[in-house]
Amino acid sequence: MIFDRNEKKQVVALLGAGSMGTAIVRRIAAGKKILLGDISEKALERVGDDFRRSGYDVETQVVNALEKDSIEAFAKKAASLGPVMYFIDTAGASPNQAAPEHIVNLDMVGTGYAVDAFGRVMAEGGAGLIISSQAAYMYPIPNEDELQIVNAATERLTELPIVKNVAMQNSGLAYMIAKRVNHLQAQRAAATTWRERRARINTISPGIIVTPLAYDEFNANGAGYQAMIDASAARRVASSDEIADAAAFLLGEHATFINGTDLLIDGGVIASLRTGMFKLQG
């Protein structure tokens, strides 16, 4: 049976077909062409099948977000399917899943390559979203280092002192710095490459969202996460669907004046931290 006879549909490209990414795509992709990219062939098969059985038009491609060539091939594939109106990047590893080098290369450099590559293929009026983290607000990067980050080509990021000397010390620092760099990557793209294509790009910084990635964090540092939940005004965790609601707004027609900015969605954890009501351990 042919479910959809429309041609030349808008393309929604998702890098990292995990919990948050797929929740976002479900909210925005009705009537569009979906391209899912992930390092896990098995995940792509499972998620792709799930989308198809729910009536979506979906293609998949194995992508390693640690490799520039693989990301560029993914962006090219997206462009070959039609006008790329949406790009969402949720490929990432959390502090208890990987060594500092892996986190820097995936969450920071890989994201940079993806922003660069999609900055060459986005359609006019398109919108992008990088999933950063509340962790971006936990380590204040000095202004001079932020300037170096903003001015560095993606392939040079690992040579910067803040990355070489601080981020590489441990996975927690690597994650906090990489996620803050995501904000700066979106700002730079919004002002340069994406601007030239008349496309927007923003970030969302989620707090504790219950996903497989978060379970790895709870298992390794349950007490730390419990303390954050207890210190937050919301006094709870959140689901990927709550992030998807905000993502749909940021990617959509009511947010066309929102560009190069970050939306923190953390139930109030950072408010507690900034006002001294809560202190991070370690």
Ligand X SMILES: NC(=O)c1ccc[n+]([C@@H]2O[C@H](COP(=O)([O-])OP(=O)(O)OC[C@H]3O[C@@H](n4cnc5c(N)ncnc54)[C@H](O)[C@@H]3O)[C@@H](O)[C@H]2O)c1
Q: Which residues are catalytic?
A: 175, 179
Residue 260's φ and ψ, nearest 5 degrees, are: 70, 30
Given 83, 128, 206, 260, the residue binding ligand X (CB under 6 A) = 206
20 binds ligand X (CB under 6 A): yes
Select the span of 158-166, 189-197, 208-216, 254-262 touching ligand X (CB under 6 A). Answer: 208-216
CA of 64: how far to CAs of 38, 60, 106, 120, 229, in Å? 7, 13, 9, 19, 33
Minimum separation from the CB atom of position 89 to ligand X (A): 8
C-beta closer to ligand X: residue 83 or 110: 110
Site string for ligand X, 160-199 (x = CB under 6 A): ----------------------------------------
With contacts defined by CB under 6 A, name the span among 27-35, 142-150, 210-218, 247-255 that binds ligand X.
210-218
What separation in angstroms does the CA of 104 have from each of 155, 205, 261?
12, 17, 22
Enumerate long-range contacts of 95-99, CB under 8 Å, 24 or more apart. Answer: 95/135, 95/171, 95/172, 95/174, 95/175, 95/217, 96/171, 96/216, 96/217, 96/219, 96/220, 96/221, 97/213, 97/216, 98/171, 99/171
Binding mask 27-46 for ligand X (x = CB under 6 A): -----------xxx--x---
Site string for ligand X, 214-253 (x = CB under 6 A): x---------------------------------------
Q: Are 255 and 249 in contact (CB under 8 A)?
A: yes
Residues 127-166 that bind ligand X (CB under 6 A): 131, 133
Query: Which residue, 119 or 206, is less far from ligand X as judged by CB?
Result: 206
Q: For ligand X, which residue of 10, 11, 12, 16 counts as binding (CB under 6 A)?
A: 16
Query: Which residue's CB is nearer to ligand X, number 187 or number 211?
Result: 211
Are 11 and 59 spatial neighbours (Cβ–Cβ below 8 Å)?
no
For 38, counting Cβ atoms within 10 Å of its Cβ (0-12 exposed, 13-18 middle, 19+ buried), the class is buried
Cα separation, 257 vs 170, whole angstroms: 38
* Contact between residue 37 and residue 61 where contact means Cβ atoms under 8 Å apart: yes
- Nearest residue to ligand X on Cβ basis: 18
Positions touching ligand X (CB under 6 A) are 16-21, 38-40, 43, 63-66, 90-94, 106, 131, 133, 206, 208-209, 211-214
